[in-house]
Amino acid sequence: MSKPNTPYQLKDITLPSNAVWHRCTVSNAARAELMAQQPRCIWLTGLSGSGKSTIANALDATFHTNGIKSFLLNGDNVRHGLNKDLGMTEADRAENIRRVGEIAKLMTDAGLVVICAFISPFNRDRQMVRSIFNHNQFLEVHLETPLAVCEERAPKGLYKKARAGVIKQFTGVSDPYEVPENPEVVINTAELSVADSVKRILDALA
């Protein structure tokens, strides 16, 4: 409920801070119109080594070359700043994804196309992120690259450390990965090249 002639709106949500929503004069639609593009969140999920960062980076570069205003949120990079206080427990992983989802939503509200590359192993966390976006604004891309292929690639040597017990709670080894139930795009990077993977995502967006 909002008060007449004020920018404030009371949301149907209980907050510890008692904050009140402040409506902006410039709408999300107006920001998107200024950007001359449709804001989207493209969420890449899959095991470590499945190719998330590589494909996300190639997709971001393709957008940039074609004049599409985009931004890439990478799982490791985010943990160097925004989420540097979080570990790898199930609760911390859930909070990691929640924060990233909220940041991605703010960026789409600003009119950007946001690419998120996160293992995000749990269905409930991915569904939570999907729920905060408008219809057709969220595109889930599952990189279903087999564990054996991911482990063989071992781009950061993490699987070897996980198998040796040096790294605890490692997805695919000592922690589960829940396969997405209804992703918009499914890619096996053991079979598709980076270029073909990017094309498949672009085709889905079209």
So which residues are the catalytic ones? Answer: 120
Is 143:117 a contact under the CB 8 Å cutoff?
no
CA distance 179 to 75: 18
Please tell me what DSSP assigns to residue 134.
Answer: P
Question: d(Cα 46, Cα 118) in Å, to the nearest integer?
Answer: 7
Give 191: exposed, middle or buried? Use CB within 10 Å, 0-12, 13-18, 19+: exposed
Neighbours of 74 (CB within 10 A): 19
DSSP string, 174-191: TB--PPPSS-SEEE-TTT
